[in-house]
Structure formats: structure tokens, C-alpha cells
Amino acid sequence: MFKPALLFTVSLCILLGGCKKEQNTGVPPVGLDLALNLNLPEYANLQVPGGWVYITGGSQGLIVYRSSADAFTAVDRHCPYQPENLCRVTVPDGSVVARDTACCGSAYLLFDGSVTEGPSSFNLRRYNTSWNGTTLRIYN
């Protein structure tokens, strides 16, 4: 027979284990809700998979990357390695990797913001995206 305290403890463990808390990278959380009309000329690079653009928003600006016909990634340019230095990642021409050349030399995939090299152990801060065929919404 289950005791109420045991049932409560098991339930609590299941609930707490199912919640994923975002890892604190030191990059300040910024409220964000943008709508981009991808038919505008400034977003021409986002018309095809593999294209990306810099846009204003987030902590140090954003990189928006189109990974497929209907999937986009938006990451903050604020480098999470020693974030107090306010360093930004940049994307060399023809690359799918964003790099922090000013502070630490860390590199991150545009596809998901994950670290590929360098001393950083944190990914770039990623924002949610939704796409309706014309407008890309970026939000948290």
C-alpha cells in the first residue's frame, strides 16, 4: 500500500525532472518579439536555405539563419564566453560558423548555435522562431 508521503515524493521527482531550466550563460535575457517580412529586399539572403542575415535585437544583435525551406534559427550575437566583455560573433563570408575573433576565438554553428571550438562551454542564446510562408516571427 502506498503511503501519501511516498506518492508525493515520487510525483515531485517526476515533475521536477521533467522541467528543463535554461542554462545561465551570463548573457542577459532580453525580451524579444520581432516579425520580419522576408519578401523585403533586406532579407533576400533568407530566401534560400543556408542564407543568413544580421538583424537588430537581443543583447548584441541577432543572426538569423535559414536551415531548410521552412526552418529558421535565430541566435544572439553576444558571445557567452566572458559575457561581461560584450563581444559579438561574426560570420565570415561563405561560412556556416559564427566566430568570436575579438575575445576568445570560440566558434558556433549557425544551424543551432552550438559550440564547435574554443574555450566557450556555452552555446549562443537561441530564440524561438515561427514561419507562416511570408513572415518570420522571432520571440522568447
| Percentage of residues in the chain having pLDDT higher than 70 | 82
Report the distance separating Cα 27 and Cα 11, nearest Å: 33
- What's the pLDDT at 24? 58
63 beta partners: 54, 75
- What's the pLDDT at 52? 96
Query: Does the predicted model carry a pTM greater than 0.85?
Result: no
Which residues, including other chains, have CB under 8 Å from residue 86's CB and lie 6 or more apart? 60, 78
Homologous superfamily in CATH for domain 37-139: Rieske [2Fe-2S] iron-sulphur domain (2.102.10.10)
Average pLDDT along the chain = 85
Structural contact between residues 29 and 127, judged by C-beta atoms closer than 8 angstroms? no
